Structure 1
Amino acid sequence: MKRQGGFTLIELVVVIVILGILAVTAAPRFLNLQGDARNASLQGLKGAINGGAGIVYGKAAIAGKEGSSSAVDIGSGSDAVKTIFGYPTATSAGIVATLSNFSDDWVIVSGTGTSNDAGETVQLTFKQYANGVPANSNCFVEYTAATAAAAAKVTVADNACK
């Protein structure tokens, strides 16, 4: 009589468990979860900037300063925000002043952050990239101050940080 060779049920279960453990530990290395997380954080910053700019524009409109072509302060003291055409300027005293605890996690990486001119652009990114955004990553939020013809604009590249 010929004896049949094969695997027992226990041997198959052990192999499946080992493969499962390997898949759980190795999968994150192959997936770009960090890029997705950074992109989501940038989208959150974009939302915070849009919200802050909208609130400041509302305050400027109430004060009758939404049409001012030169930089004016909305608010007073440490709560003052520099605006142009009612929206925050692309500066530390403008858009950055609308964000709580900005310097804890974020930095200005492009643009001087000091020009109060209409249409100026500033790029904001993670604090860890203070010395420059990684090449070809587009890992930043870009804020463009308002002009006479257009409201302030906030953009994040679709493939940011990936």
Structure 2
Amino acid sequence: MQKQNGFTLIELVVVIIILGILAVTAAPKFINLQSDARASALQGVKGAIQGANGLVFAKAALAGEEKKGGATDALRGDVDIGTGTNAITQYGYLQADLDELNNAVDADFGTADTNDWKVVVANGTATITQQGAPEEVTGNDPKACKLVYTEAADAETVPTYVITDNGC
């Protein structure tokens, strides 16, 4: 009889099963696709709002509405953006308002947990979070997965867009 060199079929199968188990348990720690997808979606919403704001400002400038703004809708600009509903603008840009964001951007913005994107509006800012994203953590190690849109404060400033994605 000759002496066998190498592995038997059973040993090979056992090694493959062990490697499969290790891969299944270790891969999610190295490949966090859900977090990357949420961060990318926030970037997409930011880009959509920025693009809409560019078009709204161009229309406002053509209509002479880019200098209008204030605390009430009567003081603000009113621009036809082609959606069937005029956009009420703050110094030529979109207001940080749920209705104006829905009017200008084709997304499911809302205040309920049933919407794709949840929007909380307060004092000229709109905080946008994705449905299913982890809740914001405050304290010593704050974490969040959100976009904060701040409308223009006067005719000399532009809106700001701040993404915090360390908690996605």
TM over 0.5: yes
Whether the aligned pair in 1 keeps the contact of 2:77 and 2:91 (CA below 8 Å) is no
In structure 2, what is the equivalent of residue 91 of structure 1?
A: 97
In structure 1, what is the equivalent of residue 57 of structure 2?
A: 57
Please give the root-mean-square deviation of Cα atoms over the aligned residues, in Å: 2.8
Q: Are residue 73 (structure 1) and residue 71 (structure 2) matched?
A: no
Question: Percent identical across equivalent pairs?
Answer: 29
Shift of 1:16: 4.1
Describe the superposition over 1:40-80 as per-residue Cα deviations: whole angstroms up to 9, x where unpaired. 11111111111111111111111111111232221178422
In structure 1, what is the equivalent of residue 147 of structure 2?
A: 141
- What is the aligned counterpart of 2:161 among 149, 154, 159? 154
**Within 2, Cα distance between the matches of 1:133 and 1:141?**
13
Structure 1: tracts of 5 or more residues without a match: none
Give the paired residue count: 149
- What is the aligned counterpart of 2:127 among 123, 129, 134? 123
Structure 2: tracts of 5 or more residues without a match: 71-75, 110-114
Query: Structure 1 residues 61, 55: CA separation in 2 closer, same or farther (over 3 Å shift)?
Result: same
Whether the aligned pair in 2 keeps the contact of 1:56 and 1:86 (CA below 8 Å) is yes
SS at match of 1:66: coil
Whether the aligned pair in 1 keeps the contact of 2:90 and 2:151 (CA below 8 Å) is yes
**Within 2, Cα distance between the matches of 1:108 and 1:38?**
16
Shift of 1:5: 9.7
> Taking structure 1 as the reference length, what is the TM-score of the superposition?
0.75
